Amino acid sequence: MEHNLDKTYTASESLIEQATPSAPSGCPPWGAAKRGGGTEHTRSVAFLTHPLFQAYLEILLRENAKYNLTAITDPEDIRQKHFADSLALLDDEPCPIPQTASLLDVGSGGGFPGVPLKLARPDISLTLLEATGRKADFLRLLVRELGIEAAVMNARAEQAAHDPAFREQFDVVVARAVAALPMLCELCLPFVKPGGVFVAYKGPKEKAGMELEAARGAIALLGGALERVHGEATVYGGRTRIMIRKISQTPANYPRNHGVMRKKPL
Ligand code: SAM
């Protein structure tokens, strides 16, 4: 199937229609509404009024200066650009997160997208992976103050992915704003169980499309197959989620060390 990002992109439709048979849907029936031509996520945004999201906002604003978590400091911008953007995956149909899925957020930073997903889907078993010690400290504080269950791992993905305790152990791996797609696939696909899915959160469709083209070889080499791409235009700009199914094991020599990945991207 031809994957042309420009072909079907509208405010309310997926960019690429189903490329492989449907993954099992794990999302609860929050409401019958589908995104219908607007610029908002009509189901997941309902969560933004939940007190736990307000608490998250307050913790983020309180701790931001100390931990250098985000350049976005306007509360409404945080709700839209961080919370709603993280939750958008829950509006994608079929939802790629099965019930009680194990989910790893690689390069979680201030907790995005993993923590909003966990707040909306408490059934998820969440692990947050973060290379920077101070940000991992923040994530531990966040998890404690929100009273959610989540494991926080302070490690580099390229090292943790060779640990048998984590390699090919997750149903779903997500990452946002961590690296360009070829390197991101090398960092993330090794964590995904065969049969599971990796979701890369990206920005506007044009750039996401170029990254996808550049990552085709890496995806195949690492045991993945492009399943679908969802996206929408929002008042804050285009958003794209690239879903890659793990169809076979990742060869043992990947991911390579950081220097090699940078010098010789797949
Ligand atoms: N995902 C968050 C978001 O969307 O707001 C944070 C994005 S921030 C730009 C990128 C984060 O990825 C940083 O916190 C950085 O420390 C982390 N990171 C970068 N490379 C990493 C790696 N190889 N392993 C683990 N974390 C990494």
Which of 87, 108, 178 best tests ligand 1's pocket when mutated (most atoms within 8 Å of CB)?
Answer: 178
The response to whether residue 158 sits with its C-beta less than 6 Å from ligand 1 reads: yes
Identify the burial level of 190 via C-beta atoms within 10 angstroms of its C-beta, where 0-12 means exposed, 13-18 middle and 19 or more buried.
buried
The SS3 of residue 220 is helix
3-state secondary structure of 54: helix
**Distance from C-alpha of 232 to C-alpha of 185, rounded to nearest angstrom:** 22
The position carrying tokens 């409401």 is 31
Q: Note whether 128 and 115 are within 8 A (CB).
A: yes
Smallest CA separation from ligand 1 atom 12, residue: 107
- pTM of the full structure: 0.88
- 44-94+101-263: what fold? Rossmann fold (3.40.50)
Least confident of 6-10, 144-148, 213-217: 6-10
Q: How far is CA 183 from CA 160, 178, 200, 214, in A?
A: 15, 9, 11, 10
Condensed to tens digits (0 to 9), the pLDDT of residues 97-122 reads 999 999 999 999 999 999 999 999 99
Summarised one tens digit per residue, pLDDT across range 42-63 is: 567 788 889 999 999 999 999 9
pLDDT score of 172: 98
Expressed in angstroms and rounded, the spacing between residue 106 Cα and the centre of ligand 1 is: 7
Is 135's C-beta closer than 6 angstroms to any atom of ligand 1? yes
27 pLDDT tier (thresholds 50, 70, 90) = low
User: CB-based contacts of 242: which residues, under 8 Å, 6+ apart?
Assistant: 181, 199, 200, 202, 208, 211, 212, 226, 229
Distance (Å, whole) CA 94 – CA 243 = 11
Residue with tokens 């990945």: 261
Cβ-contact 202, 135 below 8 angstroms: no
Q: Where are the domains of the chain?
A: 44-94+101-263
Kindly provide the residue ranges of all beta strands, DSSP E only, lying in the chain, ordered along the sequence: 102-106, 125-130, 150-154, 170-176, 192-202, 224-234, 237-246
What is d(CA 56, CA 199) in angstroms, rounded to the nearest whole number? 23
Closest CA to 151 of 178, 124, 184, 188: 124
